[in-house]
Amino acid sequence: MKSAIRSRLTRMLLTLSALFGAGLLYACFVLLTGWGIPCVFHLVTGLSCPGCGVSRMFLALLRLDFAAAWQANPAILALLPLGLAVFADISVRYVRTGRRAPGKLSNAAIVFMIAVLLVFGVARNLF
C-alpha cells in the first residue's frame, strides 16, 4: 500500500515539475522574443475569450505586479486560489486512493468557476 502511494506521489511530482519547467521555459521565451501563443478564438472572431490575457497575467505575477495581472485577466486571477484548492484536493485524493475524480465540493467549485468564466467571457466583450 505504501509503495503505491509513494509511486503515485512520485509520478505526480514529476509531472508537476515537468509542467512547471515547461511554463518557465515558455515564460522565458515570451520575455526574450515577445512572441506568445495567439488566441485562436480571438483570431477567428475578434472577440476576447475568457482566457485571453492569461500569459500576460502570469508574466505579471512573476514580476509580482498584481495590478498588471488583474488588468490582464481579473477573472482567472480571482479564481486562482479556488482553482489551486481544487487542484490540491484532487491531487491528495489521487495520491491517497489512486482515483482522479474530484469530490462533491470540488465538483461544485469547478462548476462555479466555469460559470464565472462564461459570464466573464460574455461581459468582457459587451462592455
Q: Is residue 1 part of a domain?
A: no
Taking alpha carbons only, the member of 68, 64, 69, 38 closest to residue 52 is: 38
DSSP three-state, residue 40: helix
Q: Is residue 4 part of a domain?
A: no
Query: Amino acid identity of 127?
Result: F
Q: Is residue 58 part of a domain?
A: yes
Q: So what's the pLDDT on residue 53?
A: 94
Q: Is residue 53 part of a domain?
A: yes
Segment 113-127 shows an average pLDDT of 95
- Range of 119's domain? 37-126
Q: Is residue 9 part of a domain?
A: no
Q: Is residue 22 part of a domain?
A: no
Q: Is residue 75 part of a domain?
A: yes
Q: Is residue 7 part of a domain?
A: no
Tally of structural domains, the chain: 1
Q: So what's the pLDDT on residue 1?
A: 65
Segment 18-25 shows an average pLDDT of 96
Taking alpha carbons only, the member of 84, 40, 41, 35 closest to residue 55 is: 35
pTM: 0.88
Segment 41-52 shows an average pLDDT of 94
* Radius of gyration from C-alpha coordinates of the chain: 17
